[in-house]
Structures are given as structure tokens and as C-alpha cells.
Amino acid sequence: MKIIVTGGLGLIGHNVTRKLVDQGHEVFIIDNSTNYGIVPISEINYLIEKRREKIPGVFTYSADIADVASIERIIETLRPDAIIHLASFPRQKVVNADPVLASRVMSTGLLNILECCKKYEVKRIVYTSSSMVYGDFEDFVTEDAVCKPQGQYAIMKLAGEWLIKDYTRKYGIEHTILRPSAVYGPLDVEDRVISKFLIGAMRGDTLNINGKDETLDFTYVDDAAQGIVDATLSDKAANNIYNITKSHSTTLLQAAEWAIDLAGKGTINVREKDEDFPSRGALDITKAKRDFGFDPRVDAHTGFEIYYDWLSNDPYWQKSLIDKS
């Protein structure tokens, strides 16, 4: 298959691209390598360079998905069989910093992709949504649960799902919607919860926990990427929604304790729950297991160990730790 991966230089995107290439597919990336105004330029440049090394020979179109002329030229030229749409503002904090720009990327950008899918007869769009669309939920939420999103990020993600389903209804474009949760792993940015815990502990910092009983369904990046690839290639996944997670909840307090145990230093400060974020548990992945054999293999503790070992041996982060010591 010929496949475009938008956001293909991101944490999940470069892993998805690598897996597709390894299976013999022809893959192209659309990515503008933004830092969203939050990640230090030196950090994002280093991470993108290292991610590129994992996918040698894959051509990247540097383009803004909100620029319809650029996106149309690329899709008209390539005529892909499928588009895996990962390009997005990555989380609530980043959306809050600039909700207008976020809507340009997450809403206008998606519409541009959908219009091109219609015009150039792309068979399927695979859309990476988020577990945030459910709002508050306990173990084990299923895909047919009523969504009650909280915050602009989750609302835009759910709106994206509805836009895609409308294009399926009107124009027959196949879709697959995926809802991951708390994805982490090597080559992630520091400004995410597990990265913050591990790097903070390695520095001997105090790790702040917003709510001692709050949980997340932490999903190792290789498992999430494999789920996206398998769903893309599955006929059964057409016009369906799937949770793509480890399906196990871990408290933020436990995650911080693991980070401190691995680093051998650091302290914990438990604060009140952040009411801007929903309370979340584990997601039910029965449907993904049944339809395309989704089988996440890395439990949270093992994943943290893998990520910690990578951080401990990566020259950028070792230098960062020395510079800030």
C-alpha cells in the first residue's frame, strides 16, 4: 500500500512509519516539525534528527496541514491508498496555550485532509483521536460509552471524529478512529507526565502529583504504533472506533514512585487534583483484540524501565542532566 502519515516525525508517527516500511509499504510523511511554542528548539531538533535516523529513506514533505494548497499538491501527486492522520496539537496544555492555532491545525487541517481524500479518492483515513473524549470514566470504558469531553483538546478530537463519520456517510470514504491513552517511550519530549517523572527523578527534583488517586492507562509507544498499523491494514477495522491502550490503570503516585526507585533519588509532592482534567481509568480493548488481534505487550513498569534505560544512555539527556545539576 501507499500510505501518507501526517505527523510522521512525532513520537507515535515515526514508530508507525518504521513498522509500515518494515512490512514493505510505500510510506510518505507530512510534518512541519513544530515545537508548539513549548518544547525547547534544541530539544525538538535533536529528537526529530534521532527519529529520522529510525526511518532512513522515507521522504518527508515539510508542510502545514492547515495550508490547503500545499496539502492538495502532495495528495494529488501521491494518490495514496490511505492516510494515517496523526498531526495534531498533542495535549490539553498545548491547546490551552493557543486555542485558535490549535483549532486551525486540529479542525481546519483535518477538513483539508478530508476534502483531499474525497477529491483524490483516498480509500481510508485512520484518525488518531484520544481517550480524553470520554471525559471522566472508570475501568473499563468501551467504545460505545457516551462521550462527555472536558476541555478544548478533547472537544476538538471528538469533533474530528464526527467530521470523519460525516464524510464517510456522504462520500463513502472509509475511516478508522483510534483512541489511545498516555503514550510514552524513548524519543518523547520532556513535557509529558512520564518524561517529567523520569527526568525529574534523575535530577533529584520534587515530582508533583495532581491527585494521589488519579490514574492513567499508560501505553508504551511501540504497542500504540503496532495497534495503529494493524488497524490500518485490517478490513474489519473499516468504519469502526477502537481503544488502543494497555488496558491497565496505574496511579500517578505509583508512576512517580517507580521513577524515584529507578533513579535512586527525588521526592514526591502530592497536590489537589487538577479539575481541568478528567479522572480516567483503563480502557477496554476487547474490540481491537477481536477485530485485528491487538496485543499490547509492555506493561507500565517494564515500559518505564525501558524508557529510563534509554534516557540514562542518551547523550542529549545526559548533557541536560549535567547542565542543570
Give per-residue pLDDT as tens, 228-247: 999 999 999 999 999 999 99
pLDDT band (50, 70, 90) for residue 263: very high
**Cell 467530521 -> residue:** 163
pLDDT band (50, 70, 90) for residue 215: very high
Domain ranges of the chain: 2-184+220-247+282-298
- The chain-wide mean pLDDT, for the chain, equals 94
What are φ and ψ of residue 69, in 5° steps? -65, -45
Q: Does domain 2-184+220-247+282-298 have CATH number 3.40.50.2300?
A: no
User: What's residue 19's pLDDT?
Assistant: 98
- State yes or no: pLDDT of 279 exceeds 90: no
User: What's residue 324's pLDDT?
Assistant: 63
User: What's residue 322's pLDDT?
Assistant: 61
User: What's residue 323's pLDDT?
Assistant: 65
User: What's residue 34's pLDDT?
Assistant: 80
**Cell 517494564 -> residue:** 302
**Sequential DSSP letters for 140-172:** -B-TTSPP---SHHHHHHHHHHHHHHHHHHHH-
Residues 6+ apart with CB under 8 A from 224: 12, 15, 180, 183, 244, 245, 296
| Per-residue pLDDT tens digits for 93-119 | 888 888 898 899 999 999 999 999 999
User: What's residue 159's pLDDT?
Assistant: 96
| Per-residue pLDDT tens digits for 122-160 | 999 999 999 999 999 988 999 999 999 999 999 999 999
Closest CA to 224 of 131, 100, 315: 131
| Per-residue pLDDT tens digits for 305-320 | 999 999 999 988 887 7
